[in-house]
Structure 1
Amino acid sequence: MDLQFEAIDEDMPGPKWRRVFDRHWHAYSRWFVRDGVRSRPTYFMSLKALRKHMPELLPTYEAIVATAGDGDLEARFLSMWCPPFYVGGCSQAILTGAEPALIRNYDYSPRLLEGTWLASRFNGKRVVAVVDCLWGVLDGINEDGLAVSLSFGGRTAAGQGFGIPVVLRYVLEFASTTAEAVAMLQRIPVHMSYSIAVIDRQGKHATVYVNPDRPAEVVERRVSTNHQHGVEWARHAEITKSVEREAAVEKSLSGSADVDRVLSGFLRPPVYQTSYGRGYGTLYTAVYRPLDASVELVWPGSVWRQSCAEFQDEVRIIRFNDGDSGGFAPTFKQGAVSS
């Protein structure tokens, strides 16, 4: 199948973001109320949670909601307070040394990826991020050189908290260092388990295990896949090859690993996955470079580079072939930005 990746440069929510909203809202709204509209928190509950845990983000949230039309369901969804449970894959590696970097594979179904790459300045700070839930962050970097990404933590625990994409949005909007990011991750409640990779321009880094049922934990790990201290959800770990991917990335980091060497490992099995039909295929590889606040989205044979300083609107169409059916690498073609 073909998937559109669209790079959008828009400082504040406006017509470009509204076009993205219109494209995806039908699917998102059906997902959000899949268990019934009464199963989701009310607008006032969602607003109260944002005011309590991320008050600095409220003006941005209000601007996003207004651009979406000020509807009740839209406002509840965009708060990302207690959304439905969902799972994915992902592999992450933090590189230290002369050139600090964060490399990650995002593994998911191409049918469910939004495919928006957004450069914004919601709160005066330039942020470039791959977006989820219309304004949340799957992975991204800000102009201070702070980079973050998420990976599902491999646990079935769920609780009262935020969807992690809005938390990472908050981190990139208001943190400049790994220490500041970690402090935020330690105090904001999340509704599912995730492993968060963080690195800043000084090379300070952390992997943070966030969970809905226990305190956030900072661990001395530079690699994360889809389990935390150990495998708790055996079936998910087996299907996604979580243990095998972790071992492969750890091996690529051994010795004097540089960005190119580690990246090459992310573009090969078992780290690079092609089971798109089962929802566990690598949709993109991202390479974040804090020194110049740049990022590359990479597919085998193709690199798409942007940065906080230079970001251009563009569309690329990625074609995914299910590896379970004999296909392998996705291919892409460049396209024009739709009006």
Structure 2
Amino acid sequence: MTFVLAHPSPQTDAKELAKILRERGAARVEENSFVVLETDRIQEIAGTFGVARVSMAIECESQFAAISKAIAEVGRRTVLQGQGFFVKVHLLTDRDFAARDLEFAATGALAAELAGVASSAKNEEEASAKIVAYVGMRRAFVCLKEYEGAGGAPAGALGSASCAITGPLSLASCIAACKAGFSLPELLLLYGDEDDLCRNAKIARSLAEKTTRAKSQKIAIAKMTAVHPRDGRIRMLQFDLAAARALAGMMKSKNVVLPLSLATHPQWFIEMIMKEIVGAGKVPLVPLMFSEIDYAKEEQDARRVTRQEFMKSKKTALEKPRHVRLEVGPDYLHDIIDSV
């Protein structure tokens, strides 16, 4: 039988991760090192915050000969013709043999299996195929394939936060906040016209798919008036200012996620918003402040907007938000648009 091993990130405890992953199938903690699941939902598990990496593995008895045989069998199935291979064994507890001895024996057995296809043992740096085994007291697992996980801390480990969807930067900031350990039970979506609504509804759906474990989510949808019709730089700042003020005044969460960055926003603008958030008794969370992600040219140009230039633009206003609770699923995008 093939199992899925979910390896916790450094910020995550294996038992805590098991509680989260039980929603996706029967889960047990192995030697307090990783979570073992019987499921085919591998991509969902890899995308869960708190998971460093995911392994597909076969299970065998935790005996020297059985493990060596299993490693040779996995290598025979996964190492391609001409590939160099490397065997790595992790002992999860004290055993009556050393990891290096098992690696040596399994490497010899696998080399004999692959002699006819010109595949030979290499060191870890030179090998293009790596067979990894995890050995506990009663069970051992030999990996067929490994995937990188989402990493970070489990969403909600540090409490909750409110956030707003105003554009692409807000998606990146919300995901970064979740990865740091915050859950996002309250979401505010702003739009100025139909194009904004469709774009931000898509962003909200993407955020829900990446971060939400709940079956439904509370969302407040509000239209902005007097948004600049042409200058994308001013328009972006207008959205972010309106969102910050709404989050500070409307949402219950003490923590507020802001999509601000010195790469995309003027320093005077950042200082102004931070002052307003703190003045409202909220805690600003600004995960993108010093990040080096790729930004659109228009986003980068916004940082050159002067205070005087911004103040000359018309003052925007928010219409009364419409509060709804929507099911997270295939109709999430259309439900947002239909609720307006």
Higher relative contact order (CA 8 A, sep 6+): 1
Considering only CA atoms, is the larger Rg found in Structure 1 or Structure 2?
Answer: 2
Higher helix share: 2
Please report the TM-score for the alignment, with normalisation by the length of structure 1: 0.29
